[in-house]
Structure 1
Amino acid sequence: MILHALGIGPGDEVLVPSLTFVATANSVLYVGARPVFVDIESPAVPLMSLEEAEAKCTSRTKAVIIVHFGGYLAHRDAWQALARRKGLLLIEDAAHAPGLPAAGTFGEAAAFSFYGNKNMTTAEGGAIIARSRALRESIRQARSHGMTSGTRQRLVSRRPEYDVTMLGFNYRMDELRAALGLVQLKRLPEWNDTRRRLSLRYRQLIVEHCPSVMVPFTNPWPSAHHLMPVVLPAAIRRQTVVDRLREREIQTTVHYPPVHRLTFYNDLYPDSHLPRTEEFARRELTLPLHPRMTPASVELVVNSLAAALGAELPAEAIA
């Protein structure tokens, strides 16, 4: 919706990270533009590389979508400076960062997700923050088939007429989800603070019990603490660790398989090669993190991770 309202379309390029959920890149294809994948800065800072983003700018580059991976905020001043130098529209994928005061203040607009696993949820749906009133109004109209008035507006004014002045979409949130979201929003500061304290405890225990495991982002780093990502030692087989943790009823996942390596995108852009993203994705493991956890459950996870790592042989030995 943001790209559509900003007039991004065929012939345009948009810089995106590959370390993200596929929706980030899909949104570029939806408007007919081309996503250009950018590598991460490093395993310790798995955010889109500013230096490589600048190097990949061409005369066709119109915008950049930055992703606050795991809830960890990108460097606003640096990205704003790049956008000014290159004449780019700056857009935030802030799906992981609700509740952070700076999220949504970088550029033209930011998209938030309220999917079921986010810091606050409406089960499906999301929200957009946009700096410009005109941009907000364009998005509001486009989300409801391009109609010039909504159902409530027509009900209040008692005038049933409306017009359609643009090609729109059926992207409205229903009232039940919105009501759920309003309740969740009130709890968001409390839940984010719980996530922050749990993340700090994770970091302390991992240093003590799993010194070979790297935790990205130095502490403190502005974050909504959506995820608890760790980077396993290079010689460890991740699936074995996943299986051993599952035996102890501890669920883990991976954020993310690189978008440029997914079959659909690999077929479209077979020459994409992002070595830092690929290496991070090969070794990354996301540990449980949610507000109903306790310090004791964090200790259980870390102790189980230490046991799984201790039992796992280097890949060379297994081969």
Structure 2
Amino acid sequence: MLLVSEPILGDEEKAALAAVVDDGWITMGDRVRRLEQAFAQAHGQPDAVAVSSCTAGLHLALAALGLGPGDEVLVPSMTFVATANSVLHVGATPVFVDIEGLDLPLMSLSDAAAKRTGRTRAVILVHYAGYLPDRERWRAFAQAHGLILIEDAAHAAGVTGAGAIGDAAVFSFYGNKNMTTAEGGMVTARDPATLERIRLLRAHGMTSGTQQRLTGHASGYDVTALGFNYRMDEFRAAIGLVQLARLPAWNAKRQALAARYHRSLERGGLERGGSGIVLPFPEPRPSANHIMPVLLPADADRTRVMQALRARDIQTSVHYAPVHRFTLYRERCPGVSLPLTEEFARRTLSLPLHPRMDDGDVDAVTRALAQALVQARPVPCEETPP
């Protein structure tokens, strides 16, 4: 089975895990700190805070930046549910915003402006599929209205510019991401004081950690804020250090494979605007190429296409079901209508994309997709004679 995503783990990761066992210190220690510093340097940031997940990082960023009850946060619906959940976790209200277009599934600036109210305090920008939004336009919008910008950069590890758009940015190291620690994430912030508050809240609001007390750098601790247990352990940090070193090469391979997909789909005659497959992000922009979404023809039966590809040992997926259509959010945010998001969600299909693939795999997927679309074509109804 050619999978949609596949982590690359090998002898280096095994050796890194064994070294943690041999050292005997498995909680938050030197490796976590080294990963924070290395990740920050790789993204042009002065520092970073490692956390147990991207969801935890979003929660921490919102809490550290003072979001809470009575506040509204503009969020896209074309995202994983954690983006909106994190807003609820701090007691604020998510306000769902449509995408720019079927070929640009990033949050619409014009719709965000239309939905901004006097209660709006923040915007969460999602770097869908690893593509970055327009930094200057969003910074200008935020500054004009006194809004906090937070980047949900779960898809964007390793991209130049990720982390430089918002007041804080949160990355994911989940098992299907471009680099993985199985579970885990990283937070960066523009203001060092904000980042230090995130670091404090990560570990129960304690002013020192166990390792600091063991090594004599602290004799005790105080608790100065109501924090959480969102720490990263040494095992995950050890894997992360290995993965981070490989990330540039892996992202370059993803970029080459994505370009191959575009050429292959065009050669196969599958990219025909409104009557055929639509390829999102036609214009060049920075990207980690985390997933390879395509938009099926409007009359295609997506379930039948996915089944036909699976019969050829090709896994596909859907990124994502629109968040505002889930039961929880229909009840909390009734009456939301996002026409472009809903149409994109109805037609989108994610094709396999990961560094274990080669050009032959891409061409095989493209051929299989062409055949699957023929099989899934609607059967015209026969006319009944009068």
Specify the TM-score bucket, using the shorter chain as the normaliser.
Answer: over 0.9
Number of corresponding residues:
318
Match of 1:85 in 2: 144
Instruction: Give the drift of 1:159.
Output: 4.0
Does residue 1:194 correspond to 2:253, yes or no?
yes
Match of 1:173 in 2: 232
Bigger relative contact order (CA 8 A; separation at least 6): 2
Match of 2:192 in 1: 133
CA contact (8 A) 1:235 1:315 kept: no
Amino acid at match of 2:305: V
CA contact (8 A) 2:308 2:372 kept: yes
Indicate the structure (1 or 2) with the bigger Cα radius of gyration.
2
Q: Equivalent residue of 2:316, what SS?
A: coil
- C-alpha distance in 2, partners of 1:316/1:62? 51
**In structure 2, which of residues 336, 342, 365 is the aligned counterpart of residue 278 of structure 1?**
342
- C-alpha distance in 1, partners of 2:296/2:254? 22
Amino acid at match of 2:359: P
Instruction: Give the drift of 1:145.
Output: 0.6
Amino acid at match of 1:71: G
Deviations 1:226-271 (A, max 9, x none): 0100000001110000000000010000010000001111111121
Amino acid at match of 2:357: M
TM-score by length of 1: 0.98
**In structure 1, which of residues 43, 50, 75 is the aligned counterpart of residue 134 of structure 2?**
75
Q: Equivalent residue of 1:290, what SS?
A: coil
- C-alpha distance in 2, partners of 1:98/1:316? 46
Does residue 1:228 correspond to 2:287, yes or no?
no
Amino acid at match of 1:204: R
Instruction: Give the drift of 1:317.
Output: 4.7
- C-alpha distance in 2, partners of 1:307/1:221? 31
Does residue 1:261 correspond to 2:325, yes or no?
yes
Deviations 1:27-46 (A, max 9, x none): 00000000000000100101
Distance 1:126 1:57, change over 3 A: same
| Cα RMSD for the two superposed structures | 1.2
> Structure 2: any 5+ residue segments left out of the alignment?
1-59
CA contact (8 A) 2:293 2:351 kept: yes
Identity of aligned residues (%): 60
Q: Equivalent residue of 2:294, what SS?
A: strand
Instruction: Give the drift of 1:221.
Output: 2.0
Match of 2:214 in 1: 155
Match of 2:158 in 1: 99
Match of 2:32 in 1: none
Instruction: Give the drift of 1:151.
Output: 1.4
Does residue 1:297 correspond to 2:356, yes or no?
no
Q: Equivalent residue of 2:228, what SS?
A: coil
Which stretch shifts more, 214-223 or 50-59? 214-223
Instruction: Give the drift of 1:313.
Output: 2.0
Amino acid at match of 1:298: V
CA contact (8 A) 1:235 1:316 kept: no
TM-score by length of 2: 0.81
Instruction: Give the drift of 1:220.
Output: 2.3
Which stretch shifts more, 225-234 or 267-276? 267-276
